[in-house]
Amino acid sequence: MNARTRETAAFWAMRLTAYSVVVIVGYIVVDIVVRGAGTISIPFLTEPMRKSGLEGGILPAIAGTFWLVACAIAAALPLGVACAIYLTEYARPSRFTDMVRLAITTLAGVPSIVFGLFGLGLFVYQLKFGQSILAGGLTLACLILPTIIVASEEALRAVPADFRAGSMALGATKWYTIRTNVLPYALPGIMTGSILGVGRAAGETAPILLTVAAAYLPFLPNSPMDKVAALPYHLYYLATQVPDMKAAEPMQYGTALVLIALVLGMNLGAMLIRAYFSRKHRW
């Protein structure tokens, strides 16, 4: 084999791996869409489940996922952005900031079931929230915190240092400068990162398994202290816990389709926001 053939072979090997990613995603999406589309209907999206989930809709699971995600983002966004501001704007590089960064990286690598156990121990038992939206949402917040911190840090670093110097030279304090002349330009990046985090939180099963856990709960929640159904967990339930697996198949695929549409929709939204603002802000 001469150099040229080797080059071509390597090129094609890499090209095929790149294609295979598209094929895998495409297969999953197409399979779910084809098998699930028949189930999607207005009642499916707006009614509670009936008869162990074999009939009716999945509204409580959609609502539950919405509440969990809202709770997670409400907790993780301020914390994550504050942490990123501290790391990029205030902290001078030291052993301490190295440690913080190591902790963030480690947090990102922790298996999600461990987050579930942590949430069970801390929020459910220690803080006595019980199994509730609050406990589950906060657990998910811990899970998406690294995503938000890293995205926010990147977005803040992308704002030119000139803007900070220009503002400070006019007599602005550091905090005023960050508020008016750094954060607004970093916001699109922070939003993009947060939406990706939300997409991840929406799809996680393990963390909510132990902290919100309601396998079959055909009611909408009344307060953050309620248990609630959620899409990924409802899917797990439909796929493993119902007596007649074959009969549950349309409901399984319908639920999967709603979940995947939600997550992909959010990722798409994040991409659109990024594209829109990168056209708008050019410096």
Partner 1 sequence: MTSDEKTKKEIKIRAANVDFFYGATQALFGITMEIPAGEVCALIGPSGCGKSTFLRTINRMNDLIARTRLTGEVLLDGANVYDAATNVVELRKRIGMVFQKSNPFPKSIFDNVAYGPRVHGMRNREALEEIVQRSLQRAALWDEVKDRLKDNALGLSGGQQQRLCIARALAVDPEVLLMDEPASALDPRSTAKIEDLIAELRGDYTIVIVTHNMQQASRVSDTTAFFYEGHLVEFSATATMFSRPEKKQTEDYITGRFG
- Tokens (6 digits) for 78: 């301020």
* Parallel/antiparallel/unpaired status of strands 55-56 and 49-50: antiparallel
Choose one: 26-34, 36-44, 60-68, 175-183; the region binding partner 1 (CB under 8 A). Answer: 175-183
Site residues (CB under 8 A) for partner 1, limited to 137-166: 160, 162-166
The only residue of 19, 27, 90, 176 in contact with partner 1, by rule CB under 8 A: 176
Helix runs in 174-244, H state only: 174-181, 183-203, 206-211, 231-240
- Measured from the CB atom, is 3 or 169 closer to partner 1? 169
Distances (CA, A) of 261 to 5, 164, 196, 218: 43, 40, 14, 22
Q: Is 282 in the site for partner 1 (CB under 8 A)?
A: yes
- Tokens (6 digits) for 173: 């304090």
d(CA 185, CA 96): 28
Choose one: 5-13, 63-71, 174-182, 229-237; the region binding partner 1 (CB under 8 A). Answer: 174-182
d(CA 51, CA 172): 63
Q: Is 181 in the site for partner 1 (CB under 8 A)?
A: yes
The only residue of 95, 109, 126, 283 in contact with partner 1, by rule CB under 8 A: 283
- Measured from the CB atom, is 101 or 179 closer to partner 1? 179
- Whole-number minimum distance, CB 82 to partner 1, in Å? 21
Contact 140, 204 (CB under 8 A): yes
Using CB under 8 A, list all residues that contact partner 1: 92, 160, 162-173, 176, 180-181, 185, 281-283
